[in-house]
Chain A
Amino acid sequence: MSALRIEQGSTSHSAYDLRDYHAEVIEKHTLAVLVDNEAGVLARVIGLFSGRGFNIESLTVAEVNHENHLSRITIVTTGTRDVIEQIKAQVGRIVPVHDVHDLTVEGPSIERELALFKVEGTGNNRIEALRLAEIFRANVVDSTLESFVFEMTGTSEKIDAFADLMRPLGLVETARTGVAALARGSAI
């Protein structure tokens, strides 16, 4: 149950072969980390990232199994393959961590983020904002005569794209949850 998922076997599975020749290419990976829901566990994970100079693009955490006091931390991180492997191994050896899954390499997965956007404006801008919101399937969850609050769920890229469109139309405030992710299929 090694957190470092190096394939077992002969030297033909050497660590050299696991890496390609683009070792310097920065990749983005989504990690799902199952932890004991105890005081300070999030600080341990975050402290590891800051202490060792790793990146966090997004982080979400919530209890997912009340009976067994387990929480799931979803981390989107970037780094070379070496760095990503090192991050997984380092996170994997934190004592309250049960499991580290790299959803980016372990087969297809779904990632979703929820965002709220406050857009102020009147006239054409307001009409255009509403029209675009429909196209992006964003819901209006609050409105005044001069503003809307849109709610939208999707991949981070989709949310980025919507934010870009709203900016010239009067986007004044954004709140995002960070990524939640699960592997596809029935396996857990």
Chain B
Amino acid sequence: MTRQMTGAKMVVQALKDQGVDTVFGYPGGAVLPIYDEIFQQNDIRHILVRHEQAALHAAEGYARSTGKPGVALVTSGPGATNAVTGLTDALLDSIPLVVFSGQVPTFMIGTDGFQEADTVGITRPCTKHNWLVKDTDQLADTIHQAFHVATSGRPGPVLIDLPKDVQFADGEYTPPAKAKISHYQPKVKASIEEITDIVALIEKAERPVFYTGGGVINSGPGAAMLLRELVDATGFPITSTLMGLGAYPASGKQWLGMLGMHGLYEANMAMHGCDLMINIGARFDDRITGRIQDFSPNSKKIHIDIDPSSINKIIRVDLPVIGDVGHVLEDILKVWKSRGRKTADVSAWQKQIDEWRAVRCLTYKNSGSVIKPQYALQRFEELTKGMDRYITTEVGQHQMWAAQFLGFEDPNRWMTSGGLGTMGYGFPASIGVQLAHPESLVVNIAGEASWLMNMQEMGTAIQYRLPVKQFILNNERLGMVRQWQQLLHGERYSSSWSEALPDFVKLAEAFGAKGIQCSDPKDLDDAIMEMINYDGPVIFDCLVEKHENCFPMIPSGKPHNEMLLGDASTDGAIKSDGAVLV
């Protein structure tokens, strides 16, 4: 049962058939036929953002908080180039996105036509795959393939470039069930030998640690449940990357906190001193490993990852296992249980970890007169902990403090730009999250500088009545840059001041939102509650200590066991060979 329809109608039909309910986008000449079709139906809601970059980040927020692919629609030329940052962000964090871009008609391609850009050329290295569709008969099939590629294996962004004449022309619609079966079918199950080897290592380990990442979240809530079962049953400690927070609950007994450059002392020391590292869906990113040569020198390493190219890319491992985290965990549990749930005595290791915990690495000097950013987050955590809450962040010190001081009990509740570190991510992401979870509390923990990068989205929040809360830790500095300049560049603060900031309260009011400013620690609790209880978008200008540094910190080029703690002397901590690293 095939049907004739225009390419533009096919796009809408294919989205419906793929179960899409929300599209983030911005119109322009090259996508008008699609906008015309969107206008004439009610199943798919289109969210008009104020900048294409924000459409992509909103789609990422939607995707990460639901586990479904995010969808965005942009016009040719500048619309497509504005989407590039979002595509790259999604690629580095393995977020499934399907992006449609308009293109000049096929007969004009290559003529430098108005708003022509080589979109498939530009986006080739920042998508998992992309397509230029030149034949309307191929369109529906391509869209179904695109959803398959974006969501299977290691997820990622894909882009379909659609010349305007292809949108106007008639063609035959292929429903998903009739679409060509792609040869792209990544391996999801590990062999029984591999599973048995993992279990054998688990049974013998005396100083084990689970090192988990975004792969657990991407594998779905089922994978997080299996992870919890395995961690609790073995009693092994667990740490996670920035991307994996929430897979194991922060309140869990085995939880060490985040690891890495600004990770917790106990987490990094456990990574350094372990005899068995079980990497589940993490990729040995340089923010995690520190100095490669000294990375966890005495451990056997297991690496479970769905992407073969992640294996042995940075750190050589003893037991690489290619497969989907959920499938592999399920099999590990089965085999481990059937062999009698054995573990070695890990009590000495637990005791050692407790000693590291006792260092209380997140301790900071509080103040009675200025709000310390850590204190703001502690109070925020205390006041919102039990709520149905989703958190997004921008990029900088506030992001790292949020990761340190907020606790996540479930997956898909924490949306942050990890791999690309994109300032301007958090606000539009919060919009995408709120659309997917209209009844929940959605808060963007922001720095004032990052937040300004996509502040135009206030318009979107107001238009769609999205009660997103913008909790800005305003230190009037590009804080993370300032911190590096203090530690690495002789305190020469080159261009790291946030000068000429707007009055955020007036700015909120100018858009028709609520503005709150707070500068006294005594007023903070009430102000936070006022933000939470307000039914609408809020900009919260939280004036914090301007020169606070984020610790612990593993300086670039240093191993895990040479962390700087809050009260440490930082003079000359970073040597010139470390300074060339980012």
Q: Are B125 and A47 in contact (CB under 8 A)?
A: yes
Q: Are A15 and B120 in contact (CB under 8 A)?
A: no
Q: Is B149 an interface residue (CB 8 A)?
A: yes
Distance in Å from the Cβ of B540 to the closest Cβ of chain A? 41
Within B115-158, the residues touching A (CB, 8 Å) are 120-121, 124-125, 128-129, 132, 149, 153-154
* Closest Cβ neighbor of B322 among chain A residues: A2
- On chain B, the residues within 8 Å of A2 by CB distance are 187, 308, 322
Q: Are B132 and A51 in contact (CB under 8 A)?
A: no
One of A9, A40, A51, A95 near B120 (C-beta < 8 A): A40
Q: How far is the CA of A10 from the CA of B204 in the complex (A)?
A: 14
Distance in Å from the Cβ of B512 to the closest Cβ of chain A? 45
Q: Is B191 an interface residue (CB 8 A)?
A: yes
Distance in Å from the Cβ of A167 to the closest Cβ of chain B? 39
Q: Are B149 and A95 in contact (CB under 8 A)?
A: yes
Q: Is A92 an interface residue (CB 8 A)?
A: yes
- On chain B, the residues within 8 Å of A14 by CB distance are 317-319
Known A-B contacts A16-B318, A40-B120, A92-B308; A98 and B313 likewise in contact (beta carbons under 8 Å): no
* Closest Cβ neighbor of A38 among chain B residues: B131
Q: Is A3 an interface residue (CB 8 A)?
A: yes
* Closest Cβ neighbor of B145 among chain A residues: A95
One of A9, A10, A15, A95 near B317 (C-beta < 8 A): A15
Q: Are A86 and B307 in contact (CB under 8 A)?
A: no
Q: Are B322 and A82 in contact (CB under 8 A)?
A: no
Query: Which one of B193-201, B373-381, B423-431 is at the A interface?
Result: B193-201
Q: Are B308 and A4 in contact (CB under 8 A)?
A: yes
Q: Is A62 an interface residue (CB 8 A)?
A: no
Q: How far is the CA of A15 from the CA of B296 in the complex (A)?
A: 16
- On chain A, the residues within 8 Å of B124 by CB distance are 40, 43-44, 47
Known A-B contacts A47-B124, A95-B128, A95-B129; A15 and B193 likewise in contact (beta carbons under 8 Å): no
Q: Is A1 an interface residue (CB 8 A)?
A: yes
Distance in Å from the Cβ of A146 to the closest Cβ of chain B? 43
Q: Is B222 an interface residue (CB 8 A)?
A: no
Q: How far is the CA of A40 from the CA of B130 in the complex (A)?
A: 10
Within A1-27, the residues touching B (CB, 8 Å) are 1-4, 6, 8-11, 14-16, 19
Q: How far is the CA of A89 from the CA of B153 in the complex (A)?
A: 14
One of B197, B309, B316 near A9 (C-beta < 8 A): B197
Q: Are B312 and A86 in contact (CB under 8 A)?
A: yes
- On chain A, the residues within 8 Å of B121 by CB distance are 40, 43
Q: Are B201 and A8 in contact (CB under 8 A)?
A: no
Q: How far is the CA of A3 from the CA of B306 in the complex (A)?
A: 12
Q: How far is the CA of A95 from the CA of B193 in the complex (A)?
A: 28
Q: How far is the CA of A9 from the CA of B322 in the complex (A)?
A: 12
* Dominant SS among interface residues on chain B: mixed
Q: Are A9 and B193 in contact (CB under 8 A)?
A: yes
* Closest Cβ neighbor of A86 among chain B residues: B313
**Contact bitstring A43-77, B, C-beta under 8 A = 1, else 0:** 11001000100000000000000000000000000
Q: Are A16 and B316 in contact (CB under 8 A)?
A: yes
Q: What number of A-B contacts does a CB cutoff of 8 Å give?
A: 74
One of A39, A51, A95 near B184 (C-beta < 8 A): A95
**Contact bitstring A74-115, B, C-beta under 8 A = 1, else 0:** 000000001001100110111110100000000000000000
Q: Are A11 and B129 in contact (CB under 8 A)?
A: no
Q: Are A1 and B300 in contact (CB under 8 A)?
A: no
* Closest Cβ neighbor of A51 among chain B residues: B125
One of A9, A15, A43, A89 near B308 (C-beta < 8 A): A89
- On chain A, the residues within 8 Å of B365 by CB distance are none
Q: How far is the CA of A8 from the CA of B197 in the complex (A)?
A: 10
Q: How many residues of B contact A (CB 8 A)?
A: 32
Known A-B contacts A40-B120, A93-B307, A95-B128; A11 and B300 likewise in contact (beta carbons under 8 Å): yes
- On chain B, the residues within 8 Å of A44 by CB distance are 124
Q: Are A8 and B194 in contact (CB under 8 A)?
A: yes
Within B100-121, the residues touching A (CB, 8 Å) are 120-121
**Contact bitstring B295-334, A, C-beta under 8 A = 1, else 0:** 0000010000001110111001111101000000000000
- On chain A, the residues within 8 Å of B318 by CB distance are 11, 14-16
One of B125, B153, B183, B197 near A10 (C-beta < 8 A): B197
Q: Are A8 and B191 in contact (CB under 8 A)?
A: yes
One of B197, B309, B316, B317 near A92 (C-beta < 8 A): B309
Query: Which of B120, B129, B184, B308 has the most CB atoms of chain A within a 10 A radius of its CB?
Result: B308
Known A-B contacts A15-B318, A16-B318, A47-B124; A93 and B197 likewise in contact (beta carbons under 8 Å): no
Distance in Å from the Cβ of A9 to the closest Cβ of chain B? 5
Q: How far is the CA of A94 from the CA of B308 in the complex (A)?
A: 12
Q: How far is the CA of A89 from the CA of B310 in the complex (A)?
A: 8
One of A9, A39, A86, A98 near B132 (C-beta < 8 A): A39
- On chain B, the residues within 8 Å of A3 by CB distance are 308
- On chain B, the residues within 8 Å of A92 by CB distance are 308-309
- On chain B, the residues within 8 Å of A15 by CB distance are 311-312, 316-318, 320
One of A6, A39, A90, A94 near B320 (C-beta < 8 A): A6
Q: How far is the CA of A19 from the CA of B411 in the complex (A)?
A: 38
Distance in Å from the Cβ of B131 to the closest Cβ of chain A? 9
Q: How far is the CA of A1 from the CA of B129 in the complex (A)?
A: 20
- On chain A, the residues within 8 Å of B191 by CB distance are 8
Q: How far is the CA of A14 from the CA of B309 in the complex (A)?
A: 16
Q: How far is the CA of A30 from the CA of B187 in the complex (A)?
A: 25
* Closest Cβ neighbor of B183 among chain A residues: A98
- On chain B, the residues within 8 Å of A96 by CB distance are 129
Query: Which of A8, A44, A94 has the most CB atoms of chain B within a 10 A radius of its CB?
Result: A8
- On chain A, the residues within 8 Å of B129 by CB distance are 94-96
Q: Are B312 and A85 in contact (CB under 8 A)?
A: yes
Q: Are B309 and A90 in contact (CB under 8 A)?
A: yes
Distance in Å from the Cβ of A22 to the closest Cβ of chain B? 15
Distance in Å from the Cβ of B298 to the closest Cβ of chain A? 14
- On chain B, the residues within 8 Å of A90 by CB distance are 309
Q: How far is the CA of A95 from the CA of B152 in the complex (A)?
A: 11
* Closest Cβ neighbor of A48 among chain B residues: B125
- On chain A, the residues within 8 Å of B309 by CB distance are 4, 86, 89-90, 92-93
* Closest Cβ neighbor of B307 among chain A residues: A93
Within B364-392, the residues touching A (CB, 8 Å) are none
- On chain B, the residues within 8 Å of A4 by CB distance are 308-309, 311, 320, 322
Known A-B contacts A2-B187, A43-B121; A93 and B308 likewise in contact (beta carbons under 8 Å): yes
Within B187-211, the residues touching A (CB, 8 Å) are 187, 191, 193-194, 197, 200-201
Q: Which residues of A contact B (CB under 8 A)?
A: 1-4, 6, 8-11, 14-16, 19, 39-40, 43-44, 47, 51, 82, 85-86, 89-90, 92-96, 98
- 5 tightest A-B CB contacts, nearest first: A89-B309, A4-B308, A95-B129, A14-B318, A89-B308
What would 17 A/B residue contacts be, using CB atoms closer than 8 Å? A4-B308, A4-B320, A11-B319, A14-B318, A14-B319, A15-B320, A39-B132, A40-B121, A47-B125, A51-B125, A82-B312, A93-B154, A93-B307, A95-B129, A95-B184, A96-B129, A98-B183
**Extra contacts besides A15-B312, A89-B308 (7): CB < 8 Å:** A8-B193, A14-B319, A15-B320, A51-B125, A86-B309, A93-B154, A98-B183
